[in-house]
C-alpha cells in the first residue's frame, strides 16, 4: 500500500493528448539554471557598464530578490491555487498547479517549464524597466531572477531530499504541510516570510501527532 502511494506521488501522467505539447510540460531541473544564470550575470554587467556603482548595483540586486519573495507568495496563492468556476476551469487548474498537488514528487514537473518562465520573465523585465528605468532595471531584474532560481531549486530540493540544515528542514516541513495538511496555508517555498506577515503560516501539529499522508523524501 505504501509503495503504491509513493509510486502515485512520483507518477508523471500525460497532461495533454498531443505528445508535442506534453513533451514541453516536463523539464529537467538543470534547465532553469542553463537559461537564466547568463541573464543574471548579464543584468549585473549591464548595470555596471551603464554607470551604476557596485554598491548601487548590489542594492538593486537585493531589492529584486525581496520583490521576488512577495511575487512568489502571491503567484502561488492567487494564480497557482486559483480554481475558476467556468467550464474547463478544473482542467485549467490541473494544468497550472493541480497536477503538482496530485503528483508532487514528479521529478520532471518540479521546476517551471521555459515555455512558461521565459514569457513571464519578459513580462516582468518590461515592468522593471517601466518602474526602475532601463539602467536600474537590469541589476534589479537579476536579483529577481536569482530569487526565482532559488525558489525553483528549493522546491526541487524539499521534494526530493531531506535537508541537512535547520533552516532547510523548516522549509521542508513548511512546504509538506502545505501539500499534505492544508493547502490554504504555506504559500512561500523559498521563505516563510510572507506567510508569517499575511497570517498563512501552516498550523503546527500537536505534540506526538503525525500526518500519515506525508511522504518520505529520497535521500
pLDDT in tens for each of the 219 residues of the chain?
444 444 455 556 776 777 777 766 788 999 999 999 999 999 999 999 999 999 999 999 999 999 999 999 999 999 888 888 888 777 777 776 767 777 777 777 778 888 889 999 999 999 999 999 999 999 999 999 999 999 999 998 888 888 999 999 999 999 889 988 888 999 999 999 999 999 999 987 655 544 434 454 543
- Per the CB < 8 A criterion, the answer to whether 145 and 191 are in contact is no
Give the number of other CB atoms < 10 A from CB of residue 171: 21
Q: Which three cell numbers stand for residue 3?
A: 509503495
User: Whats the size of the chain, residue-wise?
Assistant: 219
Tell me how far apart the alpha carbons of residues 54 and 182 are, in angstroms, rounded to a whole number: 44
pLDDT of residue 201: 94
- Report pLDDT for 218: 44
Q: Which of 147, 134, 173, 163 is nearest to 43 (CA)?
A: 134
d(CA 89, CA 37): 35
Q: Considering only CA atoms, which of 179, 177, 219 is closest in space to residue 202?
A: 177
Q: What is the pLDDT of residue 21?
A: 73
Outline where the chain has alpha helix (H).
2-10, 19-23, 31-49, 54-74, 89-93, 99-102, 114-132, 134-160, 166-180, 193-198
Q: Which of 191, 192, 214 is nearest to 202 (CA)?
A: 192
The pLDDT score that the predictor gives to residue 164 is 92
Instruction: Note the pLDDT of residue 38.
Output: 98
Question: Which pLDDT does position 12 carry in this prediction?
Answer: 67
pLDDT of residue 213: 42
What integer pLDDT is reported at residue 10 of this predicted model?
52
Amino acid at each position: 500500500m505504501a509503495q503504491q502511494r509513493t509510486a502515485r506521488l512520483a507518477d508523471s501522467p500525460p497532461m495533454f493528448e498531443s505528445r508535442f505539447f506534453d513533451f514541453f510540460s516536463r523539464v529537467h531541473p538543470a534547465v532553469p539554471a542553463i537559461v537564466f544564470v547568463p541573464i543574471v550575470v548579464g543584468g549585473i554587467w549591464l548595470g555596471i557598464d551603464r554607470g551604476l556603482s557596485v554598491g548601487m548595483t548590489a542594492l538593486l540586486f537585493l531589492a529584486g530578490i525581496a520583490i521576488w519573495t512577495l511575487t512568489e507568495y502571491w503567484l502561488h496563492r492567487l494564480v497557482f491555487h486559483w480554481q475558476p468556476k467556468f467550464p474547463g476551469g478544473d482542467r485549467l487548474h490541473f494544468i497550472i498547479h493541480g497536477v503538482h498537488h496530485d503528483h508532487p514528487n514528479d521529478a520532471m514537473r518540479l521546476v517551471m517549464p521555459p515555455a512558461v518562465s521565459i514569457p513571464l520573465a519578459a513580462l516582468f523585465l518590461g515592468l522593471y524597466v517601466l518602474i526602475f528605468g532601463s539602467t536600474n532595471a537590469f541589476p534589479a531584474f537579476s536579483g529577481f531572477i536569482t530569487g526565482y532560481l532559488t525558489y525553483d531549486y528549493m522546491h526541487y530540493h524539499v521534494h526530493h531530499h531531506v535537508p541537512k540544515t535547520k533552516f532547510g528542514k523548516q522549509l521542508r516541513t513548511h512546504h509538506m504541510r502545505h501539500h499534505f495538511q492544508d493547502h490554504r496555508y504555506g504559500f512561500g517555498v523559498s521563505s516563510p516570510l510572507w506567510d508569517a506577515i499575511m497570517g498563512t503560516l501552516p498550523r503546527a501539529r500537536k505534540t506526538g501527532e503525525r500526518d500519515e499522508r506525508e511522504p518520505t523524501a529520497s535521500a
